[in-house]
């Protein structure tokens, strides 16, 4: 292409829109996309995605761009509000910070003098949970929590256990090697950019199947290879039916469970006792498992042992204990979770539940061993290794 000849005429450029760029992460949702915040005269002019950030690689969603309104929205609270009407009436008046702090200190002071544990301190999703948690512990209450404990952190823990990663700062799924992605009822505002990028990768690659379990077919579900329009609130039952089917078919990766999860941890079985159902621990508080080689309860973290997934044991203090996996299996193998029974409540055909269970294991070399007590073929299979994995 021939270059444009401007001759001697000076080229008019746009005036710089910013005089400074700050690098940070977006927190309009939990994804923590990398962003560049352009500042002019100390104020935010606009926000753009950071191409060098590993989470979003420059992608910025509309909500992320709107982060500017966190600072400049006219609807933003400017001062503390004091309720002046009946609870629920929506009547408030603005007060100064001194008054707000004195009011709060009055309430909290009385609680702290009587018993600080009476304070249950709950915060929403924000970036300051280290500070709010520290404040609660200084106040003297162990009863503090934040939004994440009821939402994203559970998802993150499950993700780390099942797919080896999760989202946000907990890493992410192995999109490159994914062959089957089963997604449950994700809120579309969560993990927007990273999951969009990941799904785009799967769709482009064309070698993975993406199944979405969601009552509605919008957002991510709209591009799923298979959408399961489940009845709202029955996802858990659907999962239990999948586990039932996998257990029944013997498609359980026992080596993985023994190596990477707390499935072999012993649970105290002492009906009526205060510690019934709690994990059995040694005097130092370490969780116990049964070593398949010796049959003795040992520290679960010992890398040299081969933990059992099934078989009750008597602890040194005489209490009976059972591996957690055995309890889970006994629960999930109940006829209540048979696909035929779950179909009526979830609205998903029993044949589909069975097919999804089969598909989800057909793409990897699952062990075909069902649960067997110590001394069985399963145990012998473990015995041949120094460490399952």
Using CA of residue 94, residue 100, residue 106, residue 107, what is the dihedral sign?
positive
- Of 58 and 80, nearer to ligand SF4 (C-beta) is 58
Is 162 within 8 Å of 150 (Cβ atoms)? Answer: no
Neighbours of 226 (CB within 10 A): 15
> Would you say 58 or 347 has its CB closer to ligand SF4?
58
- Shortest CB 49 distance to ligand SF4, Å: 7
Minimum distance of ligand SF4 from residue 75's CB (angstroms): 18
* CB 232 to ligand SF4: min, Å: 25
Nearest Cα to Cα of residue 310 among 244, 248, 372, 234: 372
**Minimum distance from residue 337 beta carbon to ligand SF4 (Å):** 36
CA distance linking residue 261 with residue 263, whole number of Å: 5
Distance from chain centroid for Cα 6:
57
DSSP string across 70-128: HHH-TTS--S-EEE-SSTTS--EEE--HHHHHHHHHHHHHHHHHH-GGG--EEE-S-S-
Q: What is the DSSP letter of 335?
A: G
Q: Which is nearer to ligand SF4, 32 or 372 (CB)?
A: 32
- Of 57 and 281, nearer to ligand SF4 (C-beta) is 57
- Considering beta carbons, is residue 26 or 156 the nearer one to ligand SF4? 26
User: Least distance to ligand SF4 from the beta carbon of 23, Å?
Assistant: 14
CB 243 within 8 A of CB 257: no
Contact call for residues 172 and 160 (beta carbons, < 8 A): no
Question: With respect to ligand SF4, which residue has the nearer C-beta, 32 or 308?
Answer: 32
Structure tokens at 37: 């915040």
Q: What is the DSSP letter of 252?
A: -
Q: Is 43 exposed, middle or buried (0-12, 13-18, 19+ CB in 10 A)?
A: exposed
Q: In angstroms, what is the minimal distance from the CB of 27 to ligand SF4? A: 7
The least CB distance from residue 127 to ligand SF4, in Å, is 12
Residues 6+ apart with CB under 8 A from 181: 173, 199, 202, 208, 209, 210, 211
Closer Cβ to ligand SF4, 29 or 247, answer by number? 29
Q: Least separation, in Å, of the C-beta of 17 and ligand SF4? A: 20
Least Å distance between CB 164 and ligand SF4? Answer: 22
**CB-wise, 172 or 291, nearer to ligand SF4?**
172
Sheet holding 266-268, edge to edge: 266-268, 320-323, 313-314
For residue 221, the minimal CB distance to ligand SF4 (Å) is 18
Q: Phi/psi of residue 211, each to 5°?
A: -110, 130
Helix (H/G/I), strand (E/B), else coil: 226: strand
* Complex with ligand SF4: residue 60 or 268, whichever CB lies closer: 60
Residue 60 or residue 211: which is nearer to ligand SF4 going by CB?
Answer: 60
Helix (H) or strand (E) holding 382: helix 377-383
Residue with the closest Cβ to ligand SF4? Answer: 64
In the complex, the residues that contact ligand SF4 under the rule CB under 6 A are 26, 28-29, 31-33, 56, 60-61, 63-64, 192-193
The token duo for 299 is: 């520290």
Number of Cβ within 10 Å of residue 209's Cβ equals 16
């Amino acid at each position: 292409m021939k270059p444009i000849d401007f001759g001697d005429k000076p080229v008019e450029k746009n005036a710089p829109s910013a005089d400074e760029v700050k690098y940070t992460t977006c927190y309009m949702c939990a994804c923590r996309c990398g962003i560049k915040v352009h500042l002019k005269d100390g104020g935010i002019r606009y926000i753009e995605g950071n191409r060098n950030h590993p989470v979003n690689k420059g992608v910025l969603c509309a909500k992320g761009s709107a982060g500017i309104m966190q600072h400049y929205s006219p609807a933003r609270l400017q001062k503390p509000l004091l309720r002046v009407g009946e609870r629920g009436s929506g009547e408030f008046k603005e007060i100064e910070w001194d008054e707000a702090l004195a009011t709060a200190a009055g309430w909290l002071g009385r609680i702290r003098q009587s018993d600080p544990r009476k304070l249950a301190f709950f915060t929403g999703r924000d970036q300051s949970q280290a500070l709010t948690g520290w404040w609660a512990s200084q106040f003297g209450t162990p009863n503090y929590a934040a939004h994440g404990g009821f939402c994203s952190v559970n998802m993150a823990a499950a993700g780390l256990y099942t797919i080896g990663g999760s989202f946000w700062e907990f890493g992410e799924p192995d999109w490159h090697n994914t062959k089957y992605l089963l997604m449950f009822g994700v809120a579309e505002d969560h993990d927007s950019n990273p999951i969009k990028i990941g799904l785009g990768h799967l769709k482009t690659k064309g070698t993975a199947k993406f199944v979405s379990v969601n009552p509605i077919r919008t957002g991510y579900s709209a591009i799923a290879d298979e959408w399961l329009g489940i009845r709202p609130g029955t996802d858990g039952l659907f999962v239990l039916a999948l586990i039932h089917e996998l257990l029944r078919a013997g498609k359980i990766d026992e080596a993985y469970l023994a190596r990477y999860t707390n499935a072999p941890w012993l649970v105290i079985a002492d009906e009526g006792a205060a510690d019934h159902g709690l994990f059995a621990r040694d005097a130092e508080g370490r969780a116990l498992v049964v070593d398949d080689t010796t049959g003795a309860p040992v520290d679960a973290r010992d890398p040299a042992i081969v933990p059992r997934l099934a078989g009750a044991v008597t602890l040194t203090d005489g209490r009976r204990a059972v591996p957690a996996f055995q309890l889970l299996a006994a629960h999930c193998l109940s006829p209540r979770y048979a696909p035929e029974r779950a179909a009526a409540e979830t609205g998903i055909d029993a044949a589909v539940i069975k097919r999804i269970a089969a598909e989800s294991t057909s793409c990897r070399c699952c062990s075909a061993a069902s649960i067997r007590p110590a001394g069985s073929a399963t145990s012998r299979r473990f015995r041949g290794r120094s460490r399952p994995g």
